[in-house]
Amino acid sequence: MKKLNGFAPDNTPRGAATSAFIEHVEKKSNGRLKIETFPMEMYGTESTIIQAVQTGTLDMQIVGANILANTIPQFAALSLPLLTQSIDEGCAVLDGPAGNRLQELGEEHGFKVLADVALGYAQITNNVRPINSPDDLLGMKMRSPDEYSFIETFKALGASVTTLDYTKLYTSLAEGVIDGQFNPLFNIFDLNIDDVQDYLAMTNHTYYVAFIIMNKNVFDGLAPELQQIILEAGNKARHAARKYVGDHEKDLLEKAKRSFKEITYPEMKPFQKKIQPVYAKMEEVIGAEIVHTIQEFLTVYRREKAVSV
């Protein structure tokens, strides 16, 4: 029996990835491997559960890249604002040299990184005013996960940043402790944030991704054929999450149009200018190598894509 924390409902990218992973493992192993799932944060926050996976108390976890960055700082490169411009680019980065390097770093810290789990691009909601420019964020009380890149991004945009656990987000918004937050639309509707927020800004400022990680010693202790099944399941989970995000993007936007008082589509060049100092600060924290690897990859990727069109 293998224990997987971070399970989510089927109507989310995490849930689609989890279902695909479990189905493949249990079918192909002929019952030799069973996956027991626990709802997200049932046994603690994502941050505390990472340690449990590292020590082998828990076998596997689905964890956000921004949370994993607290243990492996280089994962924070994926949270850099306005780094990628489309879901295709976000996936390409993870399938390329940067993704390979992050897998290597995971193993150095005791994790087997089995799959990335696409969650979509983050959008901003708030209860103060529509957001059309960075100036509209001045003084706004914004919630952020406890991750350096996110915090510095919204400070650079002039917001007052408060860090809160995901499970406390709805209540804090409802009670007016904070004015706004940012998340992919899947998360926004999963928490019913539209019930307590009026304004949605489609900023696509960060590509959100989670990872299925496994204790490396547990993985290494499996028979080779079972290891292969686990790796195949990771690929199934990766593709299931990406397909789910792509298939539901338009439907979620239609739902957003019905759910929010006003939706704006800000011109992002002024935001890009404001957040440039964040890149230099992040390089000081996580090192320049992983950031430059991603940027150089994207330069080539965009050039080749432009030629092929």
In the CATH scheme, what is the homologous superfamily, with its name and number, of domain 2-285?
A: Bacterial extracellular solute-binding protein, family 7 (3.40.190.170)
Q: Which residues does 73 contact at the CB level (< 8 Å), separation at least 6?
A: 285, 286, 287
Tokens 């695909």 sit at which residue? 20
Report the pLDDT value the prediction gives residue 52, as an integer from 0 to 100: 87
Report the pLDDT value the prediction gives residue 188, as an integer from 0 to 100: 96
Report the pLDDT value the prediction gives residue 42, as an integer from 0 to 100: 61
User: How is residue 94 written in tokens?
Assistant: 């993870």
Parallel, antiparallel or unpaired: strands 35-39 and 180-184: unpaired
CA dist 309 and 98 (Å) reads 25
**Contact (Cβ atoms closer than 8 angstroms) between residue 113 and residue 103:** yes
User: How is residue 58 written in tokens?
Assistant: 């828990």
Q: What is the pLDDT of residues 27-54, one digit of tens each?
A: 999 989 988 887 655 666 667 788 889 9
| Listed residue (77, 90, 95, 65) closest to 213, CA to CA | 65
Mean residue pLDDT across the chain: 92
Residues of the chain with pLDDT under 70: 1-10, 39-46, 309
**Contact (Cβ atoms closer than 8 angstroms) between residue 181 and residue 142:** yes
